[in-house]
Structure 1
Amino acid sequence: MEEKEKKQVLSEEIVKMAIDLVEEAKREGLTLRLIGGPAIRIHSSLMAIDLHKRLKRIEGQEFPDIDFVAPDKERAKIRKFFETRGWKFDSYIFFFTSGVGTRNRQVYRGKVDVDIFYDALDLCHKVDFRNRFHLDYPTASLVDLLLTKLEIVEFTEKDAKDVIVLLRDHKIGDADAPETINARYMAKLFANDWGFWYTATTNLKKIRAACPMYQQLTAEDIADVTSKIDQILKYVDEEPKTKDWLKRAQVGTKKKWYKEVRL
């Protein structure tokens, strides 16, 4: 499929396509959960959708592909599910790439490309979805959506804008409640993983510092987002750290704390 043709697909079409795929998979007894920009859009109010569009997350097509997570035990059935709907399995990536993140990933080519990560998004840091698929539908849980952004070492402006919209439109809490970001879960996860803690908190602080530079954000937007970042950081700071975390913290960034990603 030529890139020019892909750029003609509207964001609304991509979001609808993603939801339809999750629902069709469910009817066939399969589990798909959406992550990435379209997942954030699904959880957004009209105010947040308008903000997402005004921020212009990327040039050209707003959502260039669709990302899902799924249980590894359903891998073979999910391949058949997509192939019977016209997507073509990318065998080159499967057989000839061996970088971080490729072992549990499948790519399907079509009008809109689809990436599927099985059990976990294991890139710079690991976001584990096992035992968490039930928390939300048709997307992964809000805190997991946030973690898939904060795990990125080479954090881009697109990722920052996605996080801003996600934070602006949702509450910060300490449980997996509807439309709430479970900061307690994040804090406990980071308390045993210094590397993930360092990358995620660094990214949150970058966003907090960058917010005033976005002309599309109102004073109310900036105050709301920065306040929520502070709330998350407070949960993270106050969570007791494990011995492994404390030991790794002594080494700091002298030793690489993340995995190199080559997708």
Structure 2
Amino acid sequence: MLTDPLLEGYRIVDSAGKNNLVVRLIGGLGVAAHNHRPLPPELEREFADIDLVIGRKDGRALSDFLVGIGYEANQRFNSLHGAKRMLFYDKENQRQVDVFVSQFQMCHSLVLEQHLKIHPRSLTPEHLLLTKLQIVEINRKDLLDVLRILYMHWNVDLPNECPGFSIERLNEVLSHDWGWFTTVNDNLEKVKSFAPTVLSQEKADEVLKSTHDLQQRIESSPKSTKWKTRALVGRRKVWYEIPEEVNGRA
């Protein structure tokens, strides 16, 4: 296994692909895989673990693949939760690999299986953004990742092989689920407060403009009947789940 977690993540994705397994990076490494312009040093952060997502039918095959290249499976966890999530460990680098199967289930649920082939190594930027903005108790590292996504993708010309940000795919989730919409919008307000504390005035202004634009486009998207019905209840009823920690990590 490689010492650098991003390079090791690339190795897993590329090697799995040669074995006809469609696996993609998510989490902080998924965000780091979208590197389309020079990154402000203020947005750099270290990565401890590797997070992946795989289609449902390929879960067992990926497990066999990871064990075959030297990872140790968490047998107890995987036997209990393997239909949705699996854990593996790299003893040499003391690094965990967390595999989500078909969907990302934390404070909210995000089905990903049909979107895995859009980007060659990672999730799309809008789905990465959702995995970060769904965190009700969002922390500094996740806010840094949100800033990085917006800085890398909003109104930035990208090469043809790197799909840009799709507001349509974002609104496929947010326009049909009031809870999702509410958590995302709450966290975008936190992003607007956080950006000026870590970025230069010029770069903070750029991200703030992007965030404001994003909020407007989310707000203006037509909402489903289900969304409108849940909105009548509002915050009187809890609209999210708090995930259990796994090995000290959520």
1:246 counterpart = 2:237: no
Match of 2:201 among 219, 235, 239: 219
* Equivalent in the alignment of 1:109: 89
Following superposition, the deviation at residue 49 of structure 1 comes to 6.1
Query: In structure 2, how many angstroms separate the alpha carbons of the residues matched to 1:41 and 1:52?
Result: 10
1:125-156 deviations in Å (ceiling 9; x for gaps)? 11211211111011111111111101111111
Query: In structure 1, how many angstroms separate the alpha carbons of the residues matched to 2:14 and 2:166?
Result: 25
Contact 2:176/2:223 (8 A) holds in 1: yes
Secondary structure of 1:121's aligned partner: strand
Following superposition, the deviation at residue 179 of structure 1 comes to 4.8
Q: 1:191 to 1:45 in 2, by over 3 A?
A: closer
Q: Which amino acid aligns with 2:89?
A: R
Query: In structure 2, how many angstroms separate the alpha carbons of the residues matched to 1:191 and 1:203?
Result: 17
Structure 1 residue runs of 4 or more that deviate by more than 4 Å after TM superposition: none
Percent pairwise identity: 26
Q: How does 1:49-198 map to 2 (within 5 A)?
A: 50-53=41-44, 57=45, 62-95=46-79, 104-110=84-90, 111=93, 112-172=95-155, 178-198=162-182
Gap runs ≥5 in structure 1: 1-8
Following superposition, the deviation at residue 203 of structure 1 comes to 0.4
Query: In structure 2, how many angstroms separate the alpha carbons of the residues matched to 1:95 and 1:189?
Result: 30
Secondary structure of 1:169's aligned partner: helix
Following superposition, the deviation at residue 52 of structure 1 comes to 2.4
Q: Which amino acid aligns with 1:228?
A: S
Following superposition, the deviation at residue 47 of structure 1 comes to 2.1
Secondary structure of 1:189's aligned partner: helix
1:35 counterpart = 2:15: no
Secondary structure of 2:223's aligned partner: coil
Number of aligned pairs? 237
1:71-124 deviations in Å (ceiling 9; x for gaps)? 01011111110001111111232346x7xxx75000001132101001110111
Q: Which moved more, 1:18-27 or 1:204-213?
A: 204-213
Gap runs ≥5 in structure 2: none
Contact 1:172/1:231 (8 A) holds in 2: no
* Equivalent in the alignment of 2:38: 47
Q: 1:172 to 1:204 in 2, by over 3 A?
A: farther
Query: In structure 1, how many angstroms separate the alpha carbons of the residues matched to 2:153 and 2:10?
Result: 21
* Equivalent in the alignment of 1:20: 11
Q: How much is the aligned-residue C-alpha RMSD, in angstroms?
A: 1.9
Match of 2:217 among 226, 235, 243: 235
Contact 1:208/1:229 (8 A) holds in 2: yes
Q: Which amino acid aligns with 1:138?
A: R
Contact 1:204/1:229 (8 A) holds in 2: yes
Secondary structure of 2:136's aligned partner: coil
Following superposition, the deviation at residue 205 of structure 1 comes to 1.0
Query: In structure 2, how many angstroms separate the alpha carbons of the residues matched to 1:209 and 1:26?
Result: 40
Contact 1:89/1:108 (8 A) holds in 2: yes
